[in-house]
Amino acid sequence: MIPLSTPIPNIPRISPIYQKRLAKLGIKTLRDLFFHLPRRYDDFSKITKIVDLRVGETATIQGKVLEISNTRTWKKRMNITQAHIQDSTGSIRVVWFNQPYLINVLKNDMFVSLSGKVNLDKDIYFSNPSYERIANGEWPLAEKNSSAISHKPQAIGHLRHTGRLIPIYPETAGLTSRFLRYIIQPLLPNAKQIQDWLPDAIKRSQRLLDLNAAILQVHFPSSIKNANQARRRMAFEELFLLQLFVLRQRVKRLKDKAQPTPFNEELVRNAVAKLPFKLTISQKKSAWEIFQDLTKDRPMNRLLEGDVGSGKTVVAALAALENAKAGFQTTFMAPTEILARQHFQTLNGLLAGYNLEICLLTGKDAKESLGGRISNIAKKSLLVKIKNGQMRIIVGTHALLQKQVGFKNLTLTIVDEQHRFGVAQRAALQKNVESLPDGLPQNIPHLLSMTATPIPRTLALTLYGDLDLSLLDEMPKGRQKIITNLVPPIKRNAAYEFIRRQIKQGRQAFVVCPRIEVANDRGSDTNSTNENSIRDIFADISDVRAVKKEYEKLSGDIFPELKIALLHGKLKPTEKENIMADFARGRTDIIVSTSVIEVGIDVPNAVIMMIEGAERFGLAQLHQLRGRVGRGAHQSYCLLFTDSPSRQTQERLKIMTTCHNGFELAEKDLALRGPGEFFGTSQSGLPDMPMGSLIDLIMIKQARAEAAKVLQQDPELKNYPLLKEMLKKFQDNIHLE
């Protein structure tokens, strides 16, 4: 037995290059390798005699290689490897594309097992089948010496790429499924050592496989039924740990104290009456839920979920107003400078009549305002005014989390786009809160998080467990549907003409270029914005390059007569601000931008959102970008472009043309891409949950019930040392609210 803790470099057959690639995925030991789970399976279990092959079916054949050779097609510059495979019933042509090395792997007279699809051209043939050699020693002796080749199938226990259910792993960082199968299968007997940490009673009541049996079956299942059982077990344990974690957090939180703020009915009534619009019913309801929470002496922990444009800001502003008028401080934190600045302006507008001191603090600038009049202030002086409690509403980026920012009586923290804050930043938020200097050290501020990436209900329930939800599930009256098109490459020029006509009529447009992933190890569909991660710094550089190129093309070749501005994350805040201000005033026609405009920006005259490389965005993100237009009286349009011919991509993007509901899109994203990618991995704080367990609401409930049962009997998990250890590991890997 190879011990589970064996480092990958000490495992035979893994070269240094692959050691590195595995390490990149966090696979450092044999144990890690076993817990790198397949995403799905190819079913190659149907083993067929060659004579019985039917066009269109997926099948496995076993036989002898004849006449293997390479040719090159000059037209398509493709390398073609051809062979014939013969069994006792006949032979069939086999073709592989662009794998010329195969003639060094599969030699004439060798016995092989092939799995793939049977195609028809002039004759029937196998195209690009998965292949493996069948070792001579394992081939039935009688047949080795005879010229007649039997179709008797190879025992499946030895097959790993053909002839059975074949695991397909998430293929990232240059690790193919083929390589992983090659490495994992011969090591699997060592999985017997894995100790199960799930209590027996739970396994019994939930009818779950033992962990080591599940590991065996999840990698190389002997049937679909077994594969499903294995996945169920693996999924359950993820959810069980998550629920244990969430429930224990809740117990802890019940002990926390907060400053109650009595409901100031007159103030709120007045403020609502003064708004330039009528609140929607769901805005009223959400605001009411928040005001109720604020009256309690236990910290609020509420997530305000609402589609783009559903009007979350004004709800938060009302809460901030009441808190400020009660004499307490509120922080209002946004993930980007642009958004922080916009919130600062919005709050100044909405709360101008209340004689409140509001300020803006980001990494680069400091501003204060009183009664709506804004002026710059030295950062040092601003910090003093925050510390002594004079500043009542403090708007900013994660700069607010810096150590030197101290408060007098911070009792409400509002976090916009909360999931965009990194794990470390959330931890800092918590710390900041716990070390309140003079104010009320024993009090934890009420927390209102907001998200415009609507988190599907199932996910919210799992993630936050006891977090309260307020939903803005209706749009303010009179909002239009944004006409969305997936523009095929041949219609590109027509689309440009369309944009030109709109702009001639006085409208404006956004053009968004995708983030270019560098060292992309999560697949090309991720698109995250975490200002602090090193990878993103590199990504930013190439983003800027891509967006500049687009800008040059549009301003030089396509729309030389229009005023076009370039916006990206590397510009100084003042530059960004000027560009946005010019755009808002109609001085520029088009903004070409990276996805920095993804959140928040509000320009009612902008009616076109053109998105390049749309396949690089999640549906929820595309929906957010789309939400930048359609904010005024004019019909608005979202034009999606992609160079990807993949049918899957086309179908995914097509969803945007018919679906206009952020919640639905988010659900679809989750189903299509999994929770890690839904959030952007680095900041989700979520462990990768490859089993897709987060979508299974019933199992979530069962896991929750079992976790509650265990904690009720044994809150400190004294009788479950293994479980306790697992939970600790789990906790070290995540930081949720």
Tokens representing residue 63 in the block: 């036989």
Q: Which is nearer to ligand ADP, 181 or 341 (CB)?
A: 341
> From the list 32, 582, 602, 664, which residue makes contact with ligand ADP (rule: CB under 6 A)?
602
Q: In the complex, what is the shortest distance from the CB of residue 490 to ligand ADP, in angstroms, rounded to a whole number? A: 35
| Interface segment toward ligand ADP; rule CB under 6 A; list 92-100, 273-281, 420-428, 668-676 | 273-281
Q: In the complex, what is the shortest distance from the CB of residue 631 to ligand ADP, in angstroms, rounded to a whole number? A: 6
Answer yes or no whether residue 279 interacts with ligand ADP by CB under 6 A: yes
Q: Which is nearer to ligand ADP, 346 or 555 (CB)?
A: 346
**CA 572/CA 564 separation, integer angstroms:** 18
> From the list 45, 62, 283, 530, which residue makes contact with ligand ADP (rule: CB under 6 A)?
283
Q: Which is nearer to ligand ADP, 510 or 720 (CB)?
A: 510
Q: In the complex, what is the shortest distance from the CB of residue 665 to ligand ADP, in angstroms, rounded to a whole number? A: 14
Answer yes or no whether residue 588 interacts with ligand ADP by CB under 6 A: no
**CB neighbour list of residue 364: distance below 8 Å, 6 or more residues apart:** 337, 572, 573, 574
Burial of 147 (0-12, 13-18, 19+ CB in 10 A): exposed
Question: For residue 376, what are the β-bridge partners?
Answer: 367
Q: In the complex, what is the shortest distance from the CB of residue 611 to ligand ADP, in angstroms, rounded to a whole number? A: 18
**CA 168/CA 328 separation, integer angstroms:** 55
CB-based burial, 646-663: b 16+ in 10 Å, e otherwise: eeebeebbebbeebbebb
Subset of residues 302 to 341 that bind ligand ADP, contact rule: CB under 6 A:
306, 308-314
Question: For residue 609, what are the β-bridge partners?
Answer: 510, 638
> From the list 452, 639, 653, 710, which residue makes contact with ligand ADP (rule: CB under 6 A)?
452
Alpha helix locations (H) across 529-627?
A: 534-552, 573-584, 619-626
Tokens representing residue 641 in the block: 């472009």
Q: In the complex, what is the shortest distance from the CB of residue 336 to ligand ADP, in angstroms, rounded to a whole number? A: 13
**Long-range own/partner contacts, residues 11-15 (CB < 8 A, 24 or more apart):** 11/183, 11/187, 13/182, 13/183, 14/183
Answer yes or no whether residue 662 interacts with ligand ADP by CB under 6 A: no
**What sign does the dihedral 319-322-326-331 (CA atoms) show?**
positive
Q: In the complex, what is the shortest distance from the CB of residue 312 to ligand ADP, in angstroms, rounded to a whole number? A: 4
Q: Which is nearer to ligand ADP, 137 or 478 (CB)?
A: 478
Q: Which is nearer to ligand ADP, 478 or 560 (CB)?
A: 478
Q: Which is nearer to ligand ADP, 312 or 426 (CB)?
A: 312
Let me know: does 45 contact 165? Beta carbons within 8 Å.
Answer: yes
Q: Which is nearer to ligand ADP, 307 or 536 (CB)?
A: 307
Answer yes or no whether residue 454 interacts with ligand ADP by CB under 6 A: no
> Closest residue (Cβ) to ligand ADP?
311
Q: In the complex, what is the shortest distance from the CB of residue 474 to ligand ADP, in angstroms, rounded to a whole number? A: 9
**What sign does the dihedral 492-495-497-500 (CA atoms) show?**
negative
| Interface segment toward ligand ADP; rule CB under 6 A; list 278-286, 359-367, 419-427, 509-517 | 278-286
**CB neighbour list of residue 272: distance below 8 Å, 6 or more residues apart:** 279, 318
Subset of residues 474 to 503 that bind ligand ADP, contact rule: CB under 6 A:
476
Q: In the complex, what is the shortest distance from the CB of residue 472 to ligand ADP, in angstroms, rounded to a whole number? A: 7
| Interface segment toward ligand ADP; rule CB under 6 A; list 231-239, 276-284, 440-448, 511-519 | 276-284
Q: In the complex, what is the shortest distance from the CB of residue 526 to ligand ADP, in angstroms, rounded to a whole number? A: 23
**CA 343/CA 632 separation, integer angstroms:** 19
Q: Which is nearer to ligand ADP, 243 or 280 (CB)?
A: 280
Between helix 224-254 and helix 211-219 the angle, nearest 10°, is 130
Q: Which is nearer to ligand ADP, 311 or 674 (CB)?
A: 311
Let me know: does 238 contact 693? Beta carbons within 8 Å.
Answer: yes
Answer yes or no whether residue 451 interacts with ligand ADP by CB under 6 A: no
| Interface segment toward ligand ADP; rule CB under 6 A; list 271-279, 325-333, 515-523, 643-651 | 271-279
- Count of other CB atoms within 10 angstroms of residue 337: 24
- Count of other CB atoms within 10 angstroms of residue 583: 24
**CB neighbour list of residue 283: distance below 8 Å, 6 or more residues apart:** 310, 311, 314, 315, 472
Q: In the complex, what is the shortest distance from the CB of residue 672 to ligand ADP, in angstroms, rounded to a whole number? A: 23
Residues within the interface to ligand ADP (CB under 6 A): 277-280, 283, 306, 308-314, 452, 476, 602
